[in-house]
Amino acid sequence: MKILFKILFFPVRLLWRATAPRRFPHGRPFDMRHPLVIDGDTLHHDGRKIRIWGIDAPEMGEAGGAAAKGRLESLLSRRQVHAVPRDTDVYGRIVAQLFCGRGDIGQAMVASGYAISRNRAYDRDEKRARKAKAGLWKRGGIADPAIHRRAAA
């Protein structure tokens, strides 16, 4: 009887798992329209600061900071942006992977030479951008923004 019950109940269990609400440990994905770009890897929208996951772009007071901000603005211009939260950083910002009609925004920033990779997924894109001297790499490269932040602190 126990085996028969398991056989009959199995399809119901599969259906329940497929329709059960997903857990979002860092918050639910959300959409943004016209977020305010703060710098090459930070946005502001509806009272929330969002840091782009997996990249590091030059700070505004650093060489290439304004160019990185401009590139991010052009990638996001007049597009709906889908954010998938992945973490929260030490400053309380939402760290999210961003997507729009042009694909993964973090990957696009690295591939176009305006940010450096902070995860393995974008390492190949950074190598290609360096080799092709794309974006900021044609002007001597991107100084590590983490070093700039430590010096400013």
pLDDT tens digits, 25-68: 668 899 999 899 999 999 999 999 999 999 999 999 888 999 99
What confidence score (pLDDT) does residue 19 get?
A: 47
pLDDT at 135 over 90: yes
Q: What is the mean pLDDT of residues 82-102?
A: 91
> What are the structural domains, with CATH classification, of the chain?
23-141 (2.40.50.90)
What confidence score (pLDDT) does residue 106 get?
A: 96
Total length of the chain: 153
Distance spanning both ends of the chain, measured CA to CA: 69
Query: Burial code of 103-130, b = ≥16 C-beta within 10 A, e = fewer?
Result: ebbbbbbbbbbbbbbbeeebeebbeebe
What confidence score (pLDDT) does residue 27 get?
A: 80
Q: Residue 77 corresponds to which amino acid?
A: S
Report yes or no on whether pTM surpasses 0.85.
no
pLDDT at 133 over 60: yes
- For residue 136, what pLDDT band results from cuts at 50, 70 and 90? very high
